[in-house]
Structure 1
Amino acid sequence: MNGGSIGGCRAGSLAGLKRPGGDVLRGDLVEKAASDVLTDPARLCAVGRLGLGPHADVAFDRIAVLLERLVDAPVSLVTVLSADRQFLPGQVGLPEELAAAREMPFSHSLSRHVVEAGRMLVVEDIRGDPVMRDNPSVHDLGAIAFAGVPLTDSDGHVLGTLAVMDREPRIWTKSEIALLADLGEVCSSELRLRIEREIAHEARRNAESAHNQLSLLGELTETLSATMDIDAALSRLGATVAGRLADWCVVALAEPSGVVRHVSAAHFDPAHAEAAARLAQLAADAPREMKALVAAVQRAAGPIRQDKADPKSLRTRMAAAEIAEIAERLGFGSYLVAPITAPVGRRTVGVLMLVNGAGRGTFGDAEAGTAVEIGRRAGLAVDNSRLYGRQRHVAEVLQHSMLPELPDIPGIELHARYLPAQIGAAVGGDWYDAFVQPDGSVMLAVGDVSGHDIEAAATMGQVRNLVRGDAYGRDDEPGPLLAQLDRALHGLGMPAAATAVLARVTRDDDGYDLTFANAGHPPPVLLRPDGEVEVWWEDPEPLLGLVPRDDRSTHRRRVQPGSTVLLYTDGLVEHPGTLIDDGIHRIRAALTGNAALPPDELCVRLLNTATRRDDDIALLVIRLN
């Protein structure tokens, strides 16, 4: 496909778009009447909270570059639209003037049609599209094919697009459209998180002069955004609310099918913690009653308040009499039930039930309003958790798609594992590789590109391909091969800092010769046939991509048949607050005396030594038979 910038526009052909100060030069390029969608106050409020004006944004530039590489389209854009301007926080491939200005008049905007339609638009040839064919971007920017997906906030407002353009007619494939949609979800998630952070900042600013309940909302926002584990978040919510807004509370969450999937309870008095936990357990085992409570809030279309609650009435409404007994013991003088509302679709997904004993008093309008807002934020946390789960799945698929299938080599067993970190987007720069040379020797590599994001994963794929492309068919030792890789990273301008071990295994009549080079990476480990373990420590050499070295060392080992070699990334042995020697000791203990174990089982034992997964782990186990 095309790799250059769209249209090859002359500098003079874009001079009429805007002056540097933003004054319009050609009135026919400005649309004076915006659609209702574009001028929706709620949508514009969300755009304003983003603070994305005519300037570059590192995160969105990275996504644009990644999309351009994966789809192989000349232009990739992340756009955000105000009432009358289109900003370009992420872009690759635009003419220099637009790339520097980071904004575009509506007259040239193809993305506005996506915003107005509220759905993905895929156009093979704009010149034949009755809506877009008169857009000046066809002439001025050379835009012929277009595909764009809407970027939405948590309320469903379309704030902008993730889009690609080509300068010739193009049939967009299903995989390209699916990738565009998946990366659009990643962009939308970033926008939503930024909006929520801004909302949290607003809440914190207002809390300085507002009622204590506003302070509570700010704290709950932090609590809900501190984890993507929704069960943990809702439990923390209850613990935060109890004593601040009510004596005790119950939080329940239902699946769309109606199945109750979470119930937690908290009381302000630690002496009642055990009773509250028991009540939550009983309520979780009484789905009919919990579903009825959710349905009652849905019918009420708002909070339900009872100033004079009769604890005895619970006995007639609850199948488990113990629930009523515990509620009476905790204090059941008045209650307020607020919906937990998911922002997309405004559906009720659960309830927050606040309860006061007779001594605390009843709930007023202020408490009711605060409870509704807590339910709204809890619903946002629920949606973000589900979105995070989908995003993590996409990231894992992307990561694994970049890792190779290991070759089938007579006499050599290869086993590999990749485990993402338990935090973050589950995509990073750890990798492994193995391939057979024309002379029958086997190249082995494990490396780690710095970073834990999509950019690191993309860079990892490039580094791995450079290793293959440079090493294949050459009989150079690993040291010179790593030195050449270092020169290539600098010469090609790749912003990569990476550790790596590169090894070559050659078989002869008596066993195996193994040579390796190490660029700042944890040492290889050998499990001998007698069950003893060797750690191949060598003088450290710097990472790849920092300062090019003309010479890198090659180390040699003689390996007996029946031995097992282990290459791995630092996630297996490094943990905050501990030395790498401690991690090496753990894997040494897992290997010692286990030379007869199958490599698959060795992989499991090794991964079990990593008690925390703050970093990705790549593991390559080589059994030399």
Structure 2
Amino acid sequence: MALVTVLDADRQFLPGQIGLPDHMAEAREMSLSHSLSQHVVEDGQLLMVSDLRADPRMRDNRAVRDLGAVAFAGVPLTDSEGQVLGTLAVMDREPRVWTRSEVALLTELGEVCSSELRLRIAREVADEARRHAESAHDQLTLLSELTEALSATLDVDEALGRLGRMVAGRLSDWCFVALAESARSVRHASVAHRDPAYEKEAGELNLLAPTARKEIRSMIAAVQRTAMPIRRDLADPATLPLLIADPRIADLVARLGFGSFLIAPITAPVGRRTAGVLMLVNGPERGPFGEAEERTAAEIGRRAGLAIDNSRLYGRQRRVAEVLQQSMLPDLPHIPGIELHAKYLPAQVGAAVGGDWYDAFVQPDGSVMLAVGDVAGHDIEAAATMGQVRNLVRGDAYGRDDDPGPLLTQLDRALHGLAVPAAATAVLARLRREDDDYSLTFANAGHPPPVLLRPDGEVEVWWESPEPLLGLMPGDPRSTHRRRIPPGSTLLLYTDGLVEHPAQLIDDGIGRIRAVLRNNPTVPAADLCSRLIETATRRDDDIALLVIRLL
């Protein structure tokens, strides 16, 4: 039996299950009297029991009597804050000693379930916010839309620019957003006006605003002292030259309209540091701001601060991950008669990098080993695991004349025996020069098929019977496939980020790269890589590709 569970105070819900009695499976829930998973939730960690009947804490659970459960293993499912909400659990009807590989697989699948759970929660929270905003005041609608706009980009300048464009006209006639990195530096300054007739003045103030460092720091210091927005219901344009040193800026502010203003802090949640200000300004015709606008402006400042913190955190993580990833990607060898070119691109969203890799190295006998693979995951851990898998491929294959199929079979055994927590797809190939042609042998572990452009312009896609991913469980020996390749051919190995899309068949993506190869038979390999990457219809997965041109 296997269960995905979510627990509340008195029930265990079953988003997924197999092997339960029909009445429980149909109800999609059970009482805690039958819940072994409650102990995983209480402990907050992996729980393995070989024989429940011998466990004092669990032997009286009704699952033992009514379901025949004897052995149990469960891993916690957590939300984004680490709170345990449920489990991924398996049960057996006879005593069982859970192996290290089974525990590793269960743990990895638990991470997948947790990611899906977090995504469902995030979607539900966003949907609930939208539903509430649709029936609430216009200012609540603005907050909801603003949250989505800020979360849709991790670029600080773009996020604050969106903020200004959304606020102008809905909370104020115009607004000014500023972010200061230090006393001497303005990180961002932008102006947005609700009326297109003032586009010229707003554009000029955009250009000049970063020079008003003293005034921006003064506003930040003022809201930092009060820890709340500053509101002035009556503002006299005649005082602007006293407040702003640059007469050009003072003149532009007066022309845009200066009857009342509200300054709210942009506060980073970490350390409660005031990083910038949101200044809302109304001309005399619109009238002063009220308490509702003040509360909304303060909330906008908090959400903008969260977006800024997220952007900085993402930037640091992305940089660390990219450096790690690039440090583990090899320099390609220079081989007479063979041109090699590779490219790796991190995803443009999410955790930035993942487990995609490429490799090529020359064997002592002169043959060339070629590899492209993809370790499951999109984070630093996936990149680190990728390095282990790639090094195992190199270390196991170097100096041996085995075919790629046996080499991948041995790699499966090594991943299992060394408890490397990896599930990966890969193509491993050996290329040899034979007389006037090349011979190539390859093995494919659940990976997209190699594609060959022949000298006559024909494009071959090397589909073979699917074989399992690496690192799950050692199974049957893996197959080796053989091809003859004439000089003048171009071989392409790549990862799924180049061709896959949730709304399309993989054949569509492969059709696009076939067209690129057919239409660009003579372009340099570096340019060919760029044109292939341009065919990717989305960039939420990383891409690795290896082009082998046989001269």
TM class, shorter-length: 0.5 to 0.7
Confirm whether residue 465 of structure 1 aligns to residue 416 of structure 2.
Answer: no
- Out of 543, 557, 565, the residue aligned to residue 491 of structure 2 is 565
How much has 1:262 moved relative to structure 2? 3.6
Q: 1: CA distance between counterparts of 2:518 and 2:151? A: 43
- Out of 365, 376, 385, the residue aligned to residue 311 of structure 2 is 385
Structure 1 residues 289 and 436 mapped into 2: Cα distance closer, same or farther (>3 Å)?
A: closer
Q: 1: CA distance between counterparts of 2:187 and 2:319? A: 24
Residue number in structure 2 paired with 1:319: 248
- Give the SS at the match of 1:417: strand
Residue number in structure 1 paired with 2:349: 423
How much has 1:350 moved relative to structure 2? 3.0
Q: TM-score, normalised by structure 2?
A: 0.67
- Out of 226, 250, 263, the residue aligned to residue 190 of structure 2 is 263
Most deviating of 600-609 and 316-325: 316-325
* Contact 1:309/1:334 (8 A) holds in 2: yes
Q: Which runs of 5+ in 1 are unaligned?
A: 1-52, 59-99, 101-152, 154-192
1:49-103 deviation line (CA, Å, top 9, x unaligned): xxxx995579xxxxxxxxxxxxxxxxxxxxxxxxxxxxxxxxxxxxxxxxx9xxx
Residue number in structure 1 paired with 2:482: 556
1:201-221 deviation line (CA, Å, top 9, x unaligned): 9x97xx99x999788767755
* Contact 1:312/1:324 (8 A) holds in 2: no
Q: 1: CA distance between counterparts of 2:291 and 2:200? A: 31
* Contact 1:247/1:355 (8 A) holds in 2: yes
- Out of 516, 525, 543, the residue aligned to residue 599 of structure 1 is 525
Residue number in structure 1 paired with 2:204: 282
How much has 1:445 moved relative to structure 2? 0.8
Q: 2: CA distance between counterparts of 1:54 and 1:457? A: 32
Q: 2: CA distance between counterparts of 1:432 and 1:416? A: 7
Structure 1 residues 539 and 258 mapped into 2: Cα distance closer, same or farther (>3 Å)?
A: same
- Out of 284, 301, 304, the residue aligned to residue 375 of structure 1 is 301
How much has 1:609 moved relative to structure 2? 2.1
How much has 1:358 moved relative to structure 2? 4.6
Residue number in structure 2 paired with 1:439: 365
Q: 2: CA distance between counterparts of 1:278 and 1:596? A: 49
Matches within 5 A, 1:523-534: 523-534=449-460
How much has 1:321 moved relative to structure 2? 8.8
1:480-505 deviation line (CA, Å, top 9, x unaligned): 22233233333444443221111110
- Give the SS at the match of 1:551: coil
Structure 1 residues 466 and 240 mapped into 2: Cα distance closer, same or farther (>3 Å)?
A: same
* Contact 1:253/1:263 (8 A) holds in 2: no
Amino acid in structure 1 at the alignment position of 2:188: R
Q: 2: CA distance between counterparts of 1:535 and 1:344? A: 52
Amino acid in structure 2 at the alignment position of 1:527: L
Aligned length: 426
The structure carrying a bigger strand percent of its residues is: 2
How much has 1:304 moved relative to structure 2? 4.0
* Contact 1:311/1:333 (8 A) holds in 2: yes
Confirm whether residue 394 of structure 1 aligns to residue 316 of structure 2.
Answer: no
- Give the SS at the match of 2:378: coil
Confirm whether residue 238 of structure 1 aligns to residue 171 of structure 2.
Answer: no
1:581-625 deviation line (CA, Å, top 9, x unaligned): 222222222222533322222222222222421111111111222
* Contact 1:264/1:277 (8 A) holds in 2: no
Amino acid in structure 2 at the alignment position of 1:542: P
Residue number in structure 2 paired with 1:127: none
How much has 1:452 moved relative to structure 2? 0.8
Amino acid in structure 2 at the alignment position of 1:591: L
- Give the SS at the match of 2:314: helix
Structure 1 residues 589 and 322 mapped into 2: Cα distance closer, same or farther (>3 Å)?
A: farther
Amino acid in structure 2 at the alignment position of 1:565: L
Q: 2: CA distance between counterparts of 1:587 and 1:431? A: 19
- Out of 168, 172, 175, the residue aligned to residue 249 of structure 1 is 175
Amino acid in structure 1 at the alignment position of 2:413: R
Residue number in structure 1 paired with 2:465: 539
How much has 1:572 moved relative to structure 2? 1.0
- Give the SS at the match of 2:185: coil
* Contact 1:250/1:280 (8 A) holds in 2: no
Most deviating of 428-437 and 310-319: 310-319
How much has 1:470 moved relative to structure 2? 2.5
How much has 1:226 moved relative to structure 2? 4.3
* Contact 1:442/1:504 (8 A) holds in 2: yes
Amino acid in structure 1 at the alignment position of 2:355: G
* Contact 1:489/1:496 (8 A) holds in 2: yes
- Out of 284, 292, 295, the residue aligned to residue 217 of structure 2 is 295
* Contact 1:275/1:326 (8 A) holds in 2: no
- Give the SS at the match of 1:512: strand
Amino acid in structure 2 at the alignment position of 1:295: R
Q: 1: CA distance between counterparts of 2:429 and 2:249? A: 66
* Contact 1:530/1:593 (8 A) holds in 2: no
Structure 1 residues 594 and 378 mapped into 2: Cα distance closer, same or farther (>3 Å)?
A: closer
Matches within 5 A, 1:66-465: 223-242=149-168, 245-256=171-182, 257-259=184-186, 261-265=188-192, 267=194, 272=195, 274-275=196-197, 278-287=200-209, 290-300=212-222, 301-302=225-226, 303-310=229-236, 319=248, 323-324=252-253, 327-328=256-257, 332-342=258-268, 348-358=274-284, 361-364=287-290, 367-368=293-294, 370-465=296-391
* Contact 2:169/2:193 (8 A) holds in 1: no
* Contact 2:425/2:470 (8 A) holds in 1: yes
How much has 1:365 moved relative to structure 2? 5.3
* Contact 2:321/2:383 (8 A) holds in 1: no
Residue number in structure 2 paired with 1:28: none
Residue number in structure 2 paired with 1:71: none
Q: 2: CA distance between counterparts of 1:211 and 1:262? A: 29
Residue number in structure 1 paired with 2:542: 616
Q: 2: CA distance between counterparts of 1:418 and 1:591? A: 19
How much has 1:376 moved relative to structure 2? 4.2
How much has 1:278 moved relative to structure 2? 4.5
Identity %: 69
Q: 1: CA distance between counterparts of 2:352 and 2:231? A: 43
Q: 2: CA distance between counterparts of 1:605 and 1:417? A: 12
Q: 1: CA distance between counterparts of 2:524 and 2:428? A: 24
Residue number in structure 1 paired with 2:105: none
Q: Which runs of 5+ in 2 are unaligned?
A: 1-40, 47-74, 76-80, 82-117
- Give the SS at the match of 2:154: coil
* Contact 1:521/1:569 (8 A) holds in 2: yes
Structure 1 residues 314 and 592 mapped into 2: Cα distance closer, same or farther (>3 Å)?
A: farther
Amino acid in structure 2 at the alignment position of 1:319: R
Structure 1 residues 287 and 500 mapped into 2: Cα distance closer, same or farther (>3 Å)?
A: same
Q: 2: CA distance between counterparts of 1:451 and 1:276? A: 48
Structure 1 residues 298 and 464 mapped into 2: Cα distance closer, same or farther (>3 Å)?
A: closer
Q: 1: CA distance between counterparts of 2:345 and 2:430? A: 25
Confirm whether residue 476 of structure 1 aligns to residue 398 of structure 2.
Answer: no
Amino acid in structure 2 at the alignment position of 1:589: A
